[in-house]
Structure 1
């Protein structure tokens, strides 16, 4: 999957135990994405910052992926600045909100 790939109708994306270290996508790749779940993605260094530009994104769930918490919180802060509200939730196991 490259930066030019687009998934026009994708609302939910779950990655489970992927072995990627780096993931690069543009905000136009997932124009209607609402939920992103990353589970057991221990090798992934960070969530691509471009997810902060996806206005439809409402929830990022992280399960057994503690390395990704910092990038998720940066995306949340960026999205709040751009959107002017607290619409993006960062959740952990059992949908418990993650706070830093």
Structure 2
């Protein structure tokens, strides 16, 4: 995917067992994204902080990807500081909240 690629209408993105260690995209790539699900992405080191700038993002779901919890929490904190309210949920398996 090129840096300038944009998925204007994409609301849900699931990555399942990707073998990437780094994922470089900007918030402008997913302007309508509401839910990001990362399933068994053991090689991925972090979720980019720029996901905190996607105002439509409501849910980050992590399944069997515990190494991503720290970056997800930082995104949640940043998004709440920018928006002034709690909107972003970080979920685990069975839709259980990881962070409140």
Query: What range describes the TM-score normalised by the shorter chain of this pair?
Result: over 0.9
Deviation at 1:99, TM superposition (A): 2.3
Paired with 1:72 and 1:9, the residues of 2 have a C-alpha distance of: 23
Q: Give yes or no for contact 1:2–1:24 (8 Å, CA) kept in 2.
A: no
Q: Normalising to structure 1: TM-score of the pair?
A: 0.98
Q: List 4+ stretches of structure 1 deviating above 2 A.
A: none
What runs of 5+ residues in structure 1 fail to find an aligned partner?
Answer: none
Aligned residues between the structures: 100
After TM superposition, the score normalised by the length of structure 2 is 0.98
Q: Cα offset for 1:13?
A: 0.1
Is 1:84 the counterpart of 2:87 in the alignment? Answer: no
Map of 2:73 onto structure 1: 73
Gaps in structure 2 of 5+ consecutive residues:
none
* SS of aligned partner of 2:41: coil
Query: Partners in 1 of 2:88 and 2:37 — Cα distance?
Result: 13
